[in-house]
Every structure is written in C-alpha cells, then in structure tokens.
Amino acid sequence: MNLQNTAILGLQWGDEGKGKIVNYMAGDFGAACRYQGGHNAGHTLIVKDRKIILHLLPSSICHQNSLSLIGKGVVISYEALFSEIEEIGEHTSGIVERLKISPACSLIQPYHQLIDLKKEKSNSQKTIGTTLRGIGPAYEDKVGRRAIRVVDTLSEGQLKPVLEETLDYYNFIIEKYFNEKPLSLIELMDQNLSFGEKIKPMLADVSLLIKKLNAEGKKVLFEGAQGALLDIDQGTYPFVTSSNCSPTGIAAGAGCGPLDVENILGVVKAYVTRVGEGPMPTEIFDDIGEHIALTGGEVGATTGRPRRCGWFDAVLMKRIIETNSIQGLCLTKIDVLDGLDEIKVCKEYDDSSGLFLGECMNLENVSPVYETLPGWDRPTKSINSFSELPSEAKTFISYIEEVCGAPIKIVSTGPDDLSTIVR
C-alpha cells in the first residue's frame, strides 16, 4: 500500500468513531499524533476484546511498533495524563518509551477547571454543556499569553515567576468574583514541579520527530479530537469547543507544514449525535431516536451524558467537506440502522426565514428537508466485505457519497477491527 501522512478527524459533533479508525490503521504508520483538544475527548478502541477509552493518549498507544505523539496544540492536564498512563499501562507495556510529548503544550491547571465549572453553573451566563475539564479557560490563557506550559514546569526558577503572576490574576477572580478560597502557590508549585519531573523522559521535539519519521519512510496519522461542527471557527458557535478540530488545526497543533498532511479522511456516523447544548436541525425526538441511542450505545465516553441523536445531515457535511479539503470519508455505525424500515437523510434546509448564514452556522431557524431511503432487513453488523452488504445499505452508502460529494473509503459495521470494510 502507498501510505501517506493521513489525518483522521471527525466531521460532525464528535464521537464519530475516530478512535476505532485510528487504532485500526495505526499499525501501518510510524506514529499517530494528537494535535488539539485535551481530555475532553473520549476515544473508544477494542483491543483483544477489551474496551479501552482514551482521553489524551493517541489511539495508536496499544501498537508496539508505532509511536504516539502529543503535539503542542493539545492542552494537557497532568493529573489526567498520568492517571491515564497508569490505567492504560495495565493493557499495554512500554507506554513511556513510545509516548512523545511536546514541551510546548499548554497545561490545564486547577483554576481552569474551577472557572469552567463556575461558568457552566452560573445562572447569568449561557450554558454550553462543556465537559467541565477546563478546556476553554486553558485555551483562553494560551491565546492571552499567560499559559503555564510543560517546559515551565521543568525548573523551579522558570515556573515560579509565571505561576505567581498567573495565580495572582486567578486568585483575584476566585476570591472577588466567586467568593471562594484562593489557591495556594506553594501547593501548585509542588504539584507542577513533581509532574514536570515525571514527564521529562517523554518529552520530544514533536515537529522534528514527524520530519524524522517521514525521512525514514514512516508515515504519520494525525488524530483529531471532537469534530468539525465543534470547531471554534467553523462550528456552531458559541456551542463549540475551544480549538480548531477541523484540518486547519493540524499544522499548527502538530507542528508541521500544511503540505505534510497528504491525505485527509473525515469520519462520519451514519446518523448524527451531539452532547451538550446547541442547535441540531435533524434531531429525532421520537421512538426512533431512542432506538438509535440505545442500539448505538450513545452515551458520552468522557462524561457519561446521553448523546442526542438525529438523522444524517448532508447539508452540513457537504459544506464541511467542500471547505476543508476532505478527500474521503469513513462511514461508521451503519449497523446501528439495521432493522429500521426507513432511513432519512437531510438533503437541504428549508430556510424560508433566510436566516441561515453559512459561515455563521446559525442553524436555529432552519428545518430539514429529508430524502427517505428504504431500510434493510438483513443485518450489516460485523460484515467485512462490501459485496455482502444488503443492496439497500449499498444504496444508502452511494446516496451519502453523492449528496456529500466525497468517496466513502472505509465502512464500519461494528466497534471492533474485524467489522471494517476498506474499499
């Protein structure tokens, strides 16, 4: 196979099955690299019949012959990172040797999590339904040029002045605005320095490592977190996450050039789901929505919240595919639609109000116009050859390709690797 540096990223509101696809492909690649987001992600893999949920570690982590990279665009919570390393270490050996982390990553500190929680629980501010992991406040600090980065935690002399200044700012907010006890500088110094000591053996210049792997003929997978409709610039703002989850985030977050990303594959579910607040034009409120949620196990892998379910939205997908250089699709979870009499796909919006302004993604006032396709009565679950799919499932796949304007290169019919069709 002629491998290329390949991005695997979600095109909907997250949870499309990125983890399964990255783990499935990673064995052929020199590394997989997470480049944005943080432990708000929940990527599920099945390895040797065991279900593993990853939040920060790349989904290549169980492959002994691939590296797992965390690029500088990721925001890291040290607590989350080390507890995940410990937990996943029970399933796979040699993590510390295979995991390479950029010292330029910004850190999520306890005050970020506190602010995320306070904002979400406040009655006066708009609720986003965040994962409460401190992601937004940590990215605010990065852009505000006051983030504590991994490199700062490697020496007391470097950490003290930056942490002191930042904590001054936050303690003012914590005391005066939230009426809470200030955080202790000494405790935060100790925590950060001890984690800084622990992370040292895993640090690497991820930008140069990608170049080096490529020079050795090894290709890299770029693993997106969240999905394009949650992208800070392209998504359904303000109901989005705080990073660029679409391809625009790859070069900045991994630390490579845009042309180093040679192949961009978007992962889409055969329907859509969303966790948290925000518009979702094709949301299903009846028994069929419940059936899909139950059959698809649509419960958040990070927060355990139920995921809202809806029909496949080809209007949004066509736009995202066209504007993001998406070269092909991985269609997941078609097996969840097994047994339905009819399957709907939103092919256009009725926007009689004229209020749907494309780039603003203000979807509140649109209503979906559906194409109704026949369901299939023979299950697709675990099928791994395209020719064995029921003819109605093939029709559904061709229709998605046609309305979205992109070829479907992988079809997934179950959570495990065997349930995968590569075309």
DSSP assigned state of 271: E
- Answer yes or no whether residue 412 interacts with ligand GDP by CB under 6 A: yes
- Answer yes or no whether residue 307 interacts with ligand GDP by CB under 6 A: no
Residues paired with residue 51 on neighbouring β-strands, in sequence order = 46
Question: Cis peptide leading into 415, omega within 30 of 0?
Answer: no
Candidate list 5, 12, 13, 17; residue touching ligand GDP; CB under 6 A: 17
DSSP assigned state of 382: T
- Please give the structure tokens belonging to residue 236: 């359904």
- Answer yes or no whether residue 130 interacts with ligand IMO by CB under 6 A: yes
- Sheet of 67-70: strands edge to edge? 99-101, 67-70, 31-34, 220-227, 6-10, 263-269, 328-332, 408-412, 420-422
Nearer to ligand GDP, 70 or 301 (CB): 301
Nearer to ligand GDP, 267 or 361 (CB): 267
Instruction: Please give the full DSSP string across 399-413, using - where no structure is assigned.
Output: HHHHHHTS-EEEEE-
Beta-sheet pairing, 67-70 with 99-101: parallel
Q: Tell me how far, at minimum, the Cβ of 55 lies from Mg ion, in Å.
A: 9
Nearest to 326 by CA among 16, 70, 1, 2: 16
Q: Which stretch binds ligand IMO (CB under 6 A): 22-30, 158-166, 199-207, 225-233?
A: 225-233
Residue 4 near residue 190 (C-beta atoms within 8 A): no
Q: Kindly write out the interface string for residues 289-308 of this chain, putting x where it contacts Mg ion by CB under 5 A and - elsewhere.
A: ------------x-------
Residue 120 near residue 127 (C-beta atoms within 8 A): yes
Q: Tell me how far, at minimum, the Cβ of 259 lies from ligand IMO, in Å.
A: 25
Q: Which stretch binds ligand IMO (CB under 6 A): 82-90, 122-130, 200-208, 380-388?
A: 122-130
Task: Tell me how far apart the alpha carbons of residues 114 and 83 are, in angstroms, rounded to a whole number.
Answer: 20
- From the list Mg ion, ligand GDP, ligand IMO, none, which binds 136 (C-beta under 5 to 8 Å, kind-based)? ligand IMO
Task: Tell me how far apart the alpha carbons of residues 270 and 345 are, in angstroms, rounded to a whole number.
Answer: 9
Among the listed residues 15, 152, 260, 335, the single catalytic one is 15
Task: Tell me how far apart the alpha carbons of residues 247 and 418 are, in angstroms, rounded to a whole number.
Answer: 28
- Answer yes or no whether residue 19 interacts with ligand GDP by CB under 6 A: yes
- Answer yes or no whether residue 42 interacts with Mg ion by CB under 5 A: yes
3-state DSSP of 197-264: HHHHHHECCHHHHHHHHHHCCCCEEEEEEEEHHHCCCCCCCCCCCCCCCCCHHHHHHHHCCHHHCCEE
Nearest to 265 by CA among 30, 38, 2, 11: 11
Nearer to ligand GDP, 16 or 260 (CB): 16
Q: Tell me how far, at minimum, the Cβ of 271 lies from ligand IMO, in Å.
A: 14
335 is catalytic: no
- Please give the structure tokens belonging to residue 132: 């409460």
Candidate list 60, 66, 131, 332; residue touching ligand IMO; CB under 6 A: 131
- Answer yes or no whether residue 250 interacts with ligand IMO by CB under 6 A: no
Task: Tell me how far apart the alpha carbons of residues 383 and 399 are, in angstroms, rounded to a whole number.
Answer: 20
15 is catalytic: yes
Nearer to ligand IMO, 116 or 152 (CB): 116
Binding residues among 308-347 for ligand GDP as defined by CB under 6 A: 332-333, 335-336
Candidate list 12, 40, 44, 282; residue touching ligand GDP; CB under 6 A: 44
- Answer yes or no whether residue 15 interacts with ligand GDP by CB under 6 A: yes
Candidate list 129, 289, 339, 375; residue touching ligand IMO; CB under 6 A: 129
Residues at the contact surface with Mg ion, assessed by CB under 5 A: 15, 42, 301
Residues at the contact surface with ligand IMO, assessed by CB under 6 A: 10, 13-15, 40-43, 128-131, 133, 135-136, 225-227, 230, 241-242, 275-276, 301
- Active-site residues, by number, are 15, 43
Residues at the contact surface with ligand GDP, assessed by CB under 6 A: 10, 14-20, 42-44, 297, 301, 332-333, 335-336, 412-415
